[in-house]
Amino acid sequence: MTKPTDNEKNIETNFMEKMTYGEYLQLDSLLASQKRLSDHHDEMLFIIIHQVSELWMKLILHEINAAKQAIIEDQLQVSFKKLARVSQIQSQIIKAWDVLSTLTPAEYLEFRDKLGSSSGFQSYQYRLIEFALGNKTDYILKIYEKDAKLSEELKEAYQAPSLYDISIKALHKGSFDISEDVLNRDVTKPYQQDASVQKAWTTVYQNTDQYWDLYQLAEKLVDIEDSLQQWRFRHMKTVERIIGFKVGTGGSSGVNYLKQVLDQRFFPELWNLRTEL
């Protein structure tokens, strides 16, 4: 083994009374969490891809919630850094589908029955992200009734204003005339596009120098929705590649369901104005 150079003579080697890298990251518990239910080699791939995606989603929620608070406090510049980070995280999750797509139909069938009724459809962090972006559906909440604490967390997120609700209020604070129906709407319902919001965002895009912060906010929102739709598309194509049009393990229609959600819009006016400009 090569000895350290003089420039590296201060490298720590005695950790008898100091915290190690593994202890800080709790690697013992983290790396012990990949418990295969079959003897098939590729189940490890399947577990790790989904666990890594959940870790990235945890960070997405951490950043979106902080961005929402920054916007509420009129600190738009602070929110931009966090929203930009969300977009970069999303690129990592999108690439994960490339790794999972190396799993062939024959390989997946060797352990698919071990999943039982569990399914990515049940990912509560993904639901929290959808709620944060404004896609509110109450029937989803029934999935989580088994865990009272988790169920309460989902209900709280369901009843909270979305990132777009908060952004529209930032428009209003920026002296734009926004309909009272929008400002006081029931935030548990899916957002419906509104003419006053459309007019406000269009004005922002037509006068970017005057409304630079709001313009940047709008583009950060578009980045996030664009990436989310790319993630959904790669999800759909990966599922089709591995199981075709079989029913999902959680009972959904599988690929057909995933195709339907590709048509959902979170920030409709920001897409509409591209045609209007």
Annotated binding site: 46-50, 108, 112, 235, 249
Tokens of 119: 């399914």
Tokens of 252: 């959904």
- As a dihedral over the C-alpha atoms of residue 264, residue 269, residue 275, residue 277, rounded to 10 degrees, the angle is -160
Residue 41: strand, helix, or coil = coil
The rounded distance, in Å, linking the Cα atoms of 62 and 83 is 11
Q: For residue 70, how many C-alpha atoms fall within 13 Å in the half-sphere facing its CB?
A: 17
Q: Which residue numbers belong to the known binding site for substrate?
A: 46-50, 108, 112, 249
Q: Which residue numbers belong to the known binding site for heme?
A: 235
Sign of CA dihedral 132, 137, 138, 142: negative
Q: Give the angle 263-165-212 at the CA atoms, nearest 5°.
A: 95
Residue 118 one-letter amino acid? S
Tokens of 176: 């734009």
Tokens of 199: 């007019």
Report which of 177, 209, 172, 204 is spatially closest to residue 274, judged by C-alpha positions.
204
Q: For residue 88, how many C-alpha atoms fall within 13 Å in the half-sphere facing its CB?
A: 8
The rounded distance, in Å, linking the Cα atoms of 152 and 154 is 5
The rounded distance, in Å, linking the Cα atoms of 159 and 72 is 17
Task: State the burial class of residue 20 (Cβ atoms within 10 Å of its Cβ: 0-12, 13-18, 19+).
Answer: exposed
